[in-house]
Structure 1
Protein backbone atom coordinates (compact mmCIF):
# COMPACT_ATOMS: atom_id res chain seq x y z
CA UNK A 1 0.00 0.00 0.00
CA UNK A 2 1.37 3.41 -0.96
CA UNK A 3 -0.35 6.52 0.40
CA UNK A 4 -3.19 6.54 2.88
CA UNK A 5 -5.25 9.02 0.84
CA UNK A 6 -6.31 7.72 -2.56
CA UNK A 7 -7.87 9.52 -5.52
CA UNK A 8 -9.36 7.90 -8.62
CA UNK A 9 -8.68 9.86 -11.81
CA UNK A 10 -11.65 9.42 -14.12
CA UNK A 11 -15.27 9.42 -12.97
CA UNK A 12 -16.75 7.31 -15.76
CA UNK A 13 -17.46 3.59 -15.83
CA UNK A 14 -13.81 2.60 -15.41
CA UNK A 15 -13.54 4.98 -12.47
CA UNK A 16 -16.54 3.43 -10.75
CA UNK A 17 -15.01 0.00 -11.29
CA UNK A 18 -11.76 1.24 -9.72
CA UNK A 19 -13.80 2.45 -6.75
CA UNK A 20 -15.25 -1.07 -6.44
CA UNK A 21 -11.71 -2.50 -6.37
CA UNK A 22 -10.65 0.01 -3.73
CA UNK A 23 -13.64 -0.85 -1.54
CA UNK A 24 -12.93 -4.57 -1.91
CA UNK A 25 -9.37 -3.85 -0.77
CA UNK A 26 -10.56 -1.88 2.25
CA UNK A 27 -9.19 1.35 0.80
CA UNK A 28 -10.94 4.69 1.20
CA UNK A 29 -11.20 6.84 -1.91
CA UNK A 30 -11.15 10.55 -1.06
CA UNK A 31 -12.68 11.74 -4.34
CA UNK A 32 -12.73 11.30 -8.10
CA UNK A 33 -10.58 13.60 -10.22
CA UNK A 34 -12.16 14.65 -13.50
CA UNK A 35 -12.13 18.10 -15.14
CA UNK A 36 -15.25 17.37 -17.16
CA UNK A 37 -17.39 16.27 -14.19
CA UNK A 38 -15.96 18.51 -11.48
CA UNK A 39 -18.62 19.66 -9.03
CA UNK A 40 -20.73 16.51 -9.45
CA UNK A 41 -21.06 13.58 -7.09
CA UNK A 42 -20.52 10.02 -8.33
CA UNK A 43 -21.39 7.08 -6.09
CA UNK A 44 -21.60 9.56 -3.22
CA UNK A 45 -18.06 10.89 -3.76
CA UNK A 46 -17.11 14.40 -4.83
CA UNK A 47 -15.62 14.93 -8.26
CA UNK A 48 -12.78 17.45 -8.14
CA UNK A 49 -10.58 18.99 -10.81
CA UNK A 50 -7.13 17.37 -10.60
CA UNK A 51 -5.61 20.66 -9.48
CA UNK A 52 -7.45 20.36 -6.15
CA UNK A 53 -5.88 17.04 -5.14
CA UNK A 54 -3.22 17.47 -2.46
CA UNK A 55 0.43 16.80 -3.19
CA UNK A 56 1.59 13.53 -1.66
CA UNK A 57 -1.74 11.75 -2.08
CA UNK A 58 -1.95 8.49 -4.02
CA UNK A 59 -3.80 8.12 -7.29
CA UNK A 60 -4.80 5.59 -9.92
CA UNK A 61 -5.88 6.54 -13.44
CA UNK A 62 -9.03 4.58 -14.26
CA UNK A 63 -9.32 5.39 -17.96
CA UNK A 64 -8.93 2.73 -20.64
CA UNK A 65 -7.45 5.00 -23.34
CA UNK A 66 -3.67 4.77 -22.94
CA UNK A 67 -2.91 8.19 -24.42
CA UNK A 68 -5.35 9.91 -22.05
CA UNK A 69 -3.88 7.87 -19.20
CA UNK A 70 -0.40 9.10 -20.13
CA UNK A 71 -1.40 12.77 -20.21
CA UNK A 72 -3.38 12.64 -16.97
CA UNK A 73 -0.69 10.70 -15.10
CA UNK A 74 1.93 13.22 -16.19
CA UNK A 75 -0.29 16.04 -14.96
CA UNK A 76 -0.89 14.39 -11.58
CA UNK A 77 2.81 13.57 -11.19
CA UNK A 78 3.54 17.23 -11.87
CA UNK A 79 1.15 18.21 -9.10
CA UNK A 80 3.08 16.04 -6.66
CA UNK A 81 0.67 13.11 -6.43
CA UNK A 82 2.05 9.57 -6.22
CA UNK A 83 0.89 6.70 -8.46
CA UNK A 84 -0.65 3.98 -6.30
CA UNK A 85 -1.91 0.53 -7.28
CA UNK A 86 -5.18 -1.35 -6.86
CA UNK A 87 -5.28 -5.15 -7.02
CA UNK A 88 -8.64 -6.74 -6.30
CA UNK A 89 -8.52 -9.41 -3.57
CA UNK A 90 -9.91 -11.91 -6.09
CA UNK A 91 -7.11 -11.18 -8.57
CA UNK A 92 -4.08 -13.48 -8.58
CA UNK A 93 -0.54 -12.12 -8.84
CA UNK A 94 2.17 -14.75 -9.25
CA UNK A 95 5.55 -14.85 -7.53
CA UNK A 96 8.55 -12.95 -8.87
CA UNK A 97 6.23 -10.57 -10.69
CA UNK A 98 6.89 -6.82 -10.72
CA UNK A 99 3.97 -4.43 -11.04
CA UNK A 100 4.75 -0.85 -12.01
CA UNK A 101 3.22 2.14 -10.22
CA UNK A 102 -0.42 2.76 -11.09
CA UNK A 103 -1.18 -0.93 -11.80
CA UNK A 104 -4.89 -1.81 -11.79
CA UNK A 105 -6.15 -5.43 -11.58
CA UNK A 106 -9.84 -6.31 -11.56
CA UNK A 107 -11.58 -9.28 -9.95
CA UNK A 108 -10.63 -12.56 -11.61
CA UNK A 109 -7.51 -11.16 -13.26
CA UNK A 110 -4.51 -13.50 -13.25
CA UNK A 111 -0.98 -12.22 -13.72
CA UNK A 112 1.35 -15.21 -13.63
CA UNK A 113 4.89 -15.59 -12.33
CA UNK A 114 7.89 -13.68 -13.61
CA UNK A 115 5.86 -10.93 -15.26
CA UNK A 116 7.23 -7.39 -15.54
CA UNK A 117 4.63 -4.64 -15.97
CA UNK A 118 5.41 -0.99 -16.59
CA UNK A 119 3.60 2.04 -15.23
CA UNK A 120 -0.19 2.45 -15.32
CA UNK A 121 -0.99 -0.97 -16.79
CA UNK A 122 -4.49 -2.45 -16.46
CA UNK A 123 -5.65 -6.08 -16.45
CA UNK A 124 -9.43 -6.27 -16.44
CA UNK A 125 -12.03 -8.83 -15.33
CA UNK A 126 -11.06 -12.47 -15.92
CA UNK A 127 -8.12 -11.58 -18.18
CA UNK A 128 -4.87 -13.53 -17.90
CA UNK A 129 -1.23 -12.64 -18.47
CA UNK A 130 1.06 -15.67 -18.67
CA UNK A 131 4.46 -16.34 -17.17
CA UNK A 132 7.48 -14.21 -18.09
CA UNK A 133 5.52 -11.65 -20.07
CA UNK A 134 6.80 -8.11 -20.36
CA UNK A 135 4.18 -5.36 -20.48
CA UNK A 136 5.54 -1.92 -21.30
CA UNK A 137 3.91 1.22 -19.93
CA UNK A 138 0.15 1.76 -20.11
CA UNK A 139 -0.79 -1.64 -21.53
CA UNK A 140 -4.51 -2.44 -21.27
CA UNK A 141 -5.75 -6.05 -21.25
CA UNK A 142 -9.53 -5.99 -21.47
CA UNK A 143 -11.99 -8.52 -19.95
CA UNK A 144 -11.52 -12.16 -20.83
CA UNK A 145 -8.37 -11.69 -22.90
CA UNK A 146 -5.64 -14.32 -22.67
CA UNK A 147 -2.01 -13.34 -23.10
CA UNK A 148 0.10 -16.52 -23.12
CA UNK A 149 3.59 -16.92 -21.67
CA UNK A 150 6.71 -14.99 -22.71
CA UNK A 151 4.78 -12.40 -24.72
CA UNK A 152 6.22 -8.90 -25.11
CA UNK A 153 3.68 -6.10 -25.35
CA UNK A 154 4.73 -2.57 -26.27
CA UNK A 155 3.79 0.79 -24.81
CA UNK A 156 0.14 1.78 -25.01
CA UNK A 157 -1.10 -1.49 -26.52
CA UNK A 158 -4.77 -2.41 -26.15
CA UNK A 159 -5.63 -6.12 -26.06
CA UNK A 160 -9.37 -6.35 -26.71
CA UNK A 161 -11.97 -8.37 -24.85
CA UNK A 162 -11.69 -12.11 -25.44
CA UNK A 163 -8.56 -11.78 -27.57
CA UNK A 164 -5.73 -14.34 -27.43
CA UNK A 165 -2.03 -13.64 -27.91
CA UNK A 166 -0.12 -16.88 -28.36
CA UNK A 167 3.09 -17.89 -26.61
CA UNK A 168 6.22 -15.92 -27.40
CA UNK A 169 4.63 -13.39 -29.72
CA UNK A 170 5.29 -9.65 -29.57
CA UNK A 171 2.86 -6.78 -30.03
CA UNK A 172 4.45 -3.47 -31.00
CA UNK A 173 3.87 -0.13 -29.30
CA UNK A 174 0.53 1.52 -29.99
CA UNK A 175 -1.00 -1.56 -31.62
CA UNK A 176 -4.57 -2.70 -31.01
CA UNK A 177 -5.60 -6.35 -30.84
CA UNK A 178 -9.29 -6.41 -31.66
CA UNK A 179 -11.89 -8.17 -29.55
CA UNK A 180 -11.78 -11.92 -30.07
CA UNK A 181 -8.68 -11.80 -32.29
CA UNK A 182 -6.12 -14.61 -32.12
CA UNK A 183 -2.56 -13.35 -32.52
CA UNK A 184 -0.44 -16.11 -34.04
CA UNK A 185 2.43 -13.94 -35.35
CA UNK A 186 4.14 -10.75 -34.23
CA UNK A 187 2.14 -7.51 -34.55
CA UNK A 188 4.04 -4.44 -35.81
CA UNK A 189 3.80 -1.14 -33.91
CA UNK A 190 0.70 0.96 -34.47
CA UNK A 191 -1.26 -1.71 -36.34
CA UNK A 192 -4.86 -2.77 -35.62
CA UNK A 193 -5.32 -6.53 -36.02
CA UNK A 194 -8.60 -8.44 -36.05
CA UNK A 195 -9.84 -11.96 -36.71
CA UNK A 196 -8.49 -15.47 -36.27
CA UNK A 197 -5.70 -15.62 -37.16
CA UNK A 198 -5.29 -11.89 -36.53
CA UNK A 199 -4.52 -9.78 -39.58
CA UNK A 200 -4.23 -6.01 -40.11
CA UNK A 201 -7.59 -4.35 -40.49
Structure 2
Protein backbone atom coordinates (compact mmCIF):
# COMPACT_ATOMS: atom_id res chain seq x y z
CA UNK A 1 0.00 0.00 0.00
CA UNK A 2 1.38 3.43 -0.93
CA UNK A 3 1.93 5.88 1.95
CA UNK A 4 -0.60 8.64 2.56
CA UNK A 5 0.22 11.91 0.84
CA UNK A 6 1.04 14.68 3.34
CA UNK A 7 1.16 18.30 2.23
CA UNK A 8 2.31 21.36 4.14
CA UNK A 9 0.41 24.47 3.14
CA UNK A 10 2.80 27.43 3.23
CA UNK A 11 6.49 27.34 2.30
CA UNK A 12 7.58 30.18 4.58
CA UNK A 13 9.17 30.01 8.02
CA UNK A 14 6.39 28.20 9.89
CA UNK A 15 5.89 25.86 6.94
CA UNK A 16 9.55 24.86 7.02
CA UNK A 17 9.33 24.38 10.79
CA UNK A 18 6.30 22.16 10.21
CA UNK A 19 8.45 20.15 7.80
CA UNK A 20 11.11 19.81 10.52
CA UNK A 21 8.40 18.50 12.86
CA UNK A 22 7.16 15.99 10.30
CA UNK A 23 10.66 14.73 9.52
CA UNK A 24 11.50 14.36 13.22
CA UNK A 25 8.33 12.30 13.59
CA UNK A 26 9.35 10.14 10.59
CA UNK A 27 6.41 11.36 8.50
CA UNK A 28 7.37 11.89 4.85
CA UNK A 29 6.03 15.07 3.25
CA UNK A 30 4.93 15.03 -0.40
CA UNK A 31 5.11 18.74 -1.22
CA UNK A 32 4.50 22.28 -0.05
CA UNK A 33 1.37 24.09 -1.20
CA UNK A 34 1.93 27.79 -1.82
CA UNK A 35 0.51 29.91 -4.65
CA UNK A 36 3.26 32.51 -4.32
CA UNK A 37 6.10 30.00 -4.71
CA UNK A 38 4.52 27.38 -6.98
CA UNK A 39 7.09 25.81 -9.29
CA UNK A 40 9.99 26.28 -6.88
CA UNK A 41 11.82 23.72 -4.77
CA UNK A 42 12.02 24.35 -1.02
CA UNK A 43 14.12 22.10 1.21
CA UNK A 44 14.21 19.59 -1.65
CA UNK A 45 10.42 19.42 -2.00
CA UNK A 46 8.30 20.71 -4.87
CA UNK A 47 6.01 23.65 -4.25
CA UNK A 48 2.57 23.19 -5.80
CA UNK A 49 -0.52 25.34 -6.02
CA UNK A 50 -3.16 24.28 -3.50
CA UNK A 51 -5.46 23.18 -6.33
CA UNK A 52 -2.78 20.69 -7.45
CA UNK A 53 -2.94 18.67 -4.24
CA UNK A 54 -4.10 15.10 -4.67
CA UNK A 55 -6.09 13.26 -2.03
CA UNK A 56 -4.34 12.95 1.30
CA UNK A 57 -3.66 14.96 4.45
CA UNK A 58 -2.48 18.53 5.01
CA UNK A 59 -1.09 20.75 7.74
CA UNK A 60 -1.36 24.53 7.37
CA UNK A 61 2.09 25.85 8.28
CA UNK A 62 1.16 29.55 8.31
CA UNK A 63 1.23 31.77 11.39
CA UNK A 64 -1.68 34.05 10.46
CA UNK A 65 -4.93 32.54 11.83
CA UNK A 66 -7.11 34.02 9.06
CA UNK A 67 -4.91 32.46 6.38
CA UNK A 68 -5.07 29.15 8.21
CA UNK A 69 -8.86 29.27 8.14
CA UNK A 70 -8.94 30.14 4.45
CA UNK A 71 -6.59 27.35 3.34
CA UNK A 72 -8.19 24.76 5.59
CA UNK A 73 -11.57 25.45 4.01
CA UNK A 74 -10.09 25.30 0.50
CA UNK A 75 -8.28 22.01 1.05
CA UNK A 76 -11.14 20.30 2.85
CA UNK A 77 -13.45 21.22 0.00
CA UNK A 78 -10.98 19.35 -2.22
CA UNK A 79 -11.34 16.28 0.00
CA UNK A 80 -8.08 16.52 1.95
CA UNK A 81 -8.05 15.82 5.70
CA UNK A 82 -6.21 17.84 8.35
CA UNK A 83 -3.20 16.16 9.94
CA UNK A 84 -1.81 16.80 13.43
CA UNK A 85 1.97 17.14 13.79
CA UNK A 86 3.72 16.83 17.16
CA UNK A 87 7.50 16.98 17.40
CA UNK A 88 8.92 13.99 19.31
CA UNK A 89 10.78 16.43 21.61
CA UNK A 90 7.50 18.10 22.63
CA UNK A 91 5.92 16.97 25.91
CA UNK A 92 2.18 16.32 25.97
CA UNK A 93 0.80 15.55 29.45
CA UNK A 94 -2.10 13.16 30.20
CA UNK A 95 -5.74 14.01 29.54
CA UNK A 96 -4.79 16.53 26.88
CA UNK A 97 -6.72 16.58 23.61
CA UNK A 98 -5.35 17.76 20.27
CA UNK A 99 -7.85 18.40 17.49
CA UNK A 100 -7.09 17.80 13.84
CA UNK A 101 -4.72 20.24 12.19
CA UNK A 102 -2.66 21.11 15.29
CA UNK A 103 1.08 21.81 15.13
CA UNK A 104 3.22 21.37 18.27
CA UNK A 105 6.89 22.15 17.72
CA UNK A 106 10.08 21.00 19.42
CA UNK A 107 10.54 21.53 23.17
CA UNK A 108 7.00 22.77 23.68
CA UNK A 109 5.34 21.66 26.92
CA UNK A 110 1.58 21.11 27.01
CA UNK A 111 0.39 20.32 30.53
CA UNK A 112 -2.45 18.18 31.87
CA UNK A 113 -6.07 18.45 30.75
CA UNK A 114 -5.39 20.97 27.98
CA UNK A 115 -7.54 21.23 24.87
CA UNK A 116 -6.01 22.36 21.58
CA UNK A 117 -8.68 23.19 19.01
CA UNK A 118 -8.54 22.65 15.25
CA UNK A 119 -5.45 24.13 13.58
CA UNK A 120 -4.04 25.53 16.83
CA UNK A 121 -0.27 26.03 16.93
CA UNK A 122 2.19 25.80 19.84
CA UNK A 123 5.64 26.89 18.67
CA UNK A 124 9.02 25.80 19.98
CA UNK A 125 9.89 26.30 23.66
CA UNK A 126 6.37 27.52 24.50
CA UNK A 127 4.54 26.22 27.57
CA UNK A 128 0.81 25.68 28.07
CA UNK A 129 -0.48 25.31 31.65
CA UNK A 130 -3.03 22.84 32.99
CA UNK A 131 -6.70 23.08 32.00
CA UNK A 132 -6.02 25.70 29.34
CA UNK A 133 -8.15 25.80 26.21
CA UNK A 134 -6.91 26.97 22.82
CA UNK A 135 -9.82 27.42 20.45
CA UNK A 136 -9.57 26.98 16.69
CA UNK A 137 -6.47 28.58 15.11
CA UNK A 138 -5.15 30.01 18.39
CA UNK A 139 -1.37 30.48 18.20
CA UNK A 140 1.35 30.52 20.84
CA UNK A 141 4.67 31.84 19.54
CA UNK A 142 8.14 30.65 20.61
CA UNK A 143 8.99 30.91 24.28
CA UNK A 144 5.58 32.18 25.40
CA UNK A 145 4.23 30.99 28.75
CA UNK A 146 0.50 30.37 29.11
CA UNK A 147 -0.48 29.74 32.74
CA UNK A 148 -3.14 27.31 33.90
CA UNK A 149 -6.85 27.60 33.14
CA UNK A 150 -6.35 30.22 30.41
CA UNK A 151 -8.73 30.52 27.46
CA UNK A 152 -7.26 31.58 24.10
CA UNK A 153 -10.29 32.19 21.91
CA UNK A 154 -10.49 31.50 18.18
CA UNK A 155 -7.74 33.20 16.20
CA UNK A 156 -5.99 34.65 19.28
CA UNK A 157 -2.19 34.96 19.10
CA UNK A 158 0.33 35.19 21.94
CA UNK A 159 3.69 36.61 20.86
CA UNK A 160 7.19 35.34 21.56
CA UNK A 161 8.21 35.29 25.25
CA UNK A 162 4.88 36.77 26.36
CA UNK A 163 3.17 35.59 29.55
CA UNK A 164 -0.56 35.13 30.15
CA UNK A 165 -1.39 34.79 33.84
CA UNK A 166 -3.65 32.19 35.42
CA UNK A 167 -7.35 32.05 34.59
CA UNK A 168 -7.45 34.82 31.99
CA UNK A 169 -9.15 34.99 28.59
CA UNK A 170 -7.59 36.33 25.40
CA UNK A 171 -10.49 37.18 23.12
CA UNK A 172 -11.12 36.16 19.50
CA UNK A 173 -8.51 37.49 17.05
CA UNK A 174 -6.70 39.39 19.83
CA UNK A 175 -2.90 39.72 19.66
CA UNK A 176 -0.52 39.74 22.62
CA UNK A 177 2.76 41.41 21.69
CA UNK A 178 6.19 39.88 22.22
CA UNK A 179 7.33 39.98 25.83
CA UNK A 180 4.00 41.29 27.14
CA UNK A 181 2.67 40.22 30.53
CA UNK A 182 -1.10 39.80 30.44
CA UNK A 183 -2.66 40.49 33.86
CA UNK A 184 -6.30 40.99 32.79
CA UNK A 185 -8.62 39.66 30.10
CA UNK A 186 -7.91 40.87 26.55
CA UNK A 187 -10.98 41.93 24.55
CA UNK A 188 -11.70 40.55 21.09
CA UNK A 189 -9.62 42.02 18.27
CA UNK A 190 -7.36 43.99 20.63
CA UNK A 191 -3.55 44.18 20.44
CA UNK A 192 -1.87 44.52 23.83
CA UNK A 193 1.80 45.24 24.58
CA UNK A 194 4.02 45.85 27.56
CA UNK A 195 4.25 44.68 31.17
CA UNK A 196 1.59 44.83 32.38
CA UNK A 197 -0.03 44.53 28.97
CA UNK A 198 -2.13 47.47 27.79
CA UNK A 199 -3.99 48.09 24.51
CA UNK A 200 -1.78 49.43 21.74
CA UNK A 201 -3.03 52.90 20.94
CA UNK A 202 -2.79 54.42 17.43
CA UNK A 203 -0.32 57.33 17.10
CA UNK A 204 -1.79 60.72 17.83
CA UNK A 205 -2.07 63.26 15.01
CA UNK A 206 -0.43 66.66 15.29
| TM-score normalized by the length of structure 2 | 0.94
Q: Give me the whole-angstrom Cα distance separating, in 1, the residues matched to 2:150 and 2:16.
A: 30
Q: How much does 1:117 deviate?
A: 1.3
Which residue is equivalent to 1:47? 47
In 2, Cα distance between equivalents of 1:58 and 1:112: 27
Does residue 171 of structure 1 match 2:170? yes
Tell me which residue corresponds to 2:58: 59
The residue number in structure 1 matching 2:145 is 146
Higher mean C-alpha displacement, 3-12 vs 185-194:
3-12
1:83-102 pair list within 5 angstroms: 83-102=82-101
> Post-superposition shift, 1:99?
0.6
Unaligned 5+ runs, structure 2: 201-206
- Work out the CA distance in 1 between the residues paired with 2:19 and 2:185: 35
CA deviation map 1:27-77 (0-9, x unaligned): 10000001111111101100011111112x011000000001110111001
Gaps spanning 5+ residues in structure 1: where? none
Match of 1:31 in 2: 31
Q: Aligned partners of 1:62 and 1:140: how far apart in 2?
A: 11
**Is the aligned partner of 1:189 residue 2:188?**
yes
Mapped partners of 1:171, 1:50: distance in 2: 32
Structure 1 segments of 4+ aligned residues over 3 angstroms from their partners: none
- How many equivalent residue pairs? 198
- SS class of match (2:46): strand
**Cα distance in 1 between the residues matched to 2:165 and 2:47:** 41
Aligned-pair RMSD on alpha carbons?
Answer: 0.8
Instruction: Provide the secondary structure at the position in 2 that maps to 1:29.
Output: coil
Aligned pairs for 1:101-116 within 5 A: 101-116=100-115
- 1:60-106 residue CA offsets vs partner (Å, 9 max, x unmatched): 00000000111011100110000001100000111111111110011
Q: Deviations over 1:6-46 (max 9, x none)?
A: 11000111111111111100010000001111111101100
TM-score, L = length of structure 1: 0.97
Q: Tell me the residue number matched to 2:203.
A: none
How far apart in 2 are the matches of 1:45 and 1:119? 26
